[in-house]
Amino acid sequence: MSKRLLSLALLAGLAAMTGMPAGAADYKEEYKISTVVPAPFPWGIAAEKWAALVGERTDGRIKMKVYPGTQLVSGDQTKEFTAMRRGIIDMSVGSTINWSPQVKELNLFSLPFLMPDYAAIDALTQGPVGEKLFAILREKGVEPLAWAENGFREVSNSKHPIRTPADLKGLKMRVVGSPLFNDTFTALGANPTQMSWADAKPALTTGAVDGQENPLSVFAIAKIHEVGQSNLTLWGYVADPLIFAVNQDVWNNFTPEDQAIVRQAAVDAGAEGVEIARKGLTGGDDSAVTSLEALGVKVVRLSDAERQAFVDATRGVYAEWKEKIGADLVTMAEESIAKR
């Protein structure tokens, strides 16, 4: 006990001499942030902004560095949440899709055609559903701080325009490593193939798969049109919110003052990330779409009736997964969207 008290006294003295908050003397030299993609993707920009803001607001006491490409988990994005929970990763700006294998409730955002617009996304992330999901994450050993956004996921392929579910029949589609995505594309008659983002572009290049689904920002920045993806359909079937989170032990080691700084920096970085992800897609500005058309991409804008055909074709998947995710949570989400 006396050694413990002496140690605390020495730390307090060091903090007083260096200007650090008491208890901060044993912080790590660097905190590693895992992401799937780097800047200039909105996702990577949000993560870099978080690290920069924390560095500025703590005068460099807390140093955070972004490691994109999920390199901290050998490129397997579905292992990111487990690695953070175990302390292999300190922090992450992670996809709700990639974390859903470990947190079933995060499949909510991947329910086909749950969210019809950006207001619906905000109704979930900024309302009681978001609070409930954050509580679930805390129970699993991480501290969630804020939301960002990867965007609505649109579908493309190298064969022909997609206007009806029948147009997907037989197409080999790259999908993320989530059973819900597999079920959705199977219901639409496609042949889904699950693979990581690191493997996706090479597979598109060689023709191992015919198509893929991703936000328009990813399509544009990764230049997916250059690997034969000349047909793009705007259907907004699911969205991909991102979550800023910290390993619970790392979080608990921060002083309350530094916790407040790290959390607010995440909120601010997340807001900027959302703004960037929606640029050219909202407020009457469709430049994100027209810029792709200028590159020769054939863009299909579905009518309400055409989109409804896809909704109808995936209702069985929606109903099945509503029970798997938790009917009460999904109902809460439906009610929040209806009130938006």
Residue 38 lies in a domain: yes
Rounded Cα gap, residues 178 and 17, in angstroms: 51
What pLDDT does residue 177 have? 84
H/E run at residue 58: none
How far is the C-alpha of 221 from the C-alpha of 143, rounded, in Å?
Answer: 31
Identify whether 164 is part of a domain. Answer: yes
Residue 199: count of CB within 10 angstroms of its CB: 15
Query: Using CA atoms, how far apart are residues 130 and 127, in angstroms rounded to an integer?
Result: 6
Is position 270 within any domain? Answer: yes
CB burial class (10 A; 0-12, 13-18, 19+) of residue 208? middle
Find the radius of gyration of the CA atoms of the chain.
21
* Residue 12 placed within a domain: no
Specify the pLDDT at position 313: 98
Contacts of 52-56 with C-beta under 8 Å, sequence gap 24+, read 53/265, 53/268, 53/269, 54/261, 54/262, 54/265
Does residue 185 lie within any of the structural domains?
yes
What is the token pair recorded at 333?
A: 């989400």
d(Cα 178, Cα 185) in Å, to the nearest integer?
A: 11
Q: 294 is in which domain, residue-wise?
A: 28-338
Residue 322 covered by a domain = yes
Predicted pLDDT of residue 21: 57
**CATH code where residue 288 lies:** 3.40.190.170
Domains held by the chain: number: 1
Q: Angle of helix 315-325 relative to helix 304-313, nearest 10 degrees?
A: 60
- DSSP, collapsed to helix, strand or coil, labels residue 284 as coil
The conformation of residue 165, written as its DSSP 8-state character, comes to G
pLDDT at 308: 98
Q: Are 171 and 157 in contact (CB under 8 A)?
A: yes
Rounded Cα gap, residues 293 and 303, in angstroms? 18
Q: Is 23 a member of any domain?
A: no
- Residues 6 or more apart whose CB falls under 8 angstroms from that of 86 comprise none
In a domain, 21, yes or no: no
Tell me the average confidence (pLDDT) per consecutive run of 10 residues in the chain, 340 residues long. Answer: 45 49 77 97 98 98 97 93 97 97 97 98 98 98 97 98 98 94 98 91 95 97 96 97 98 98 98 97 97 98 98 98 98 98
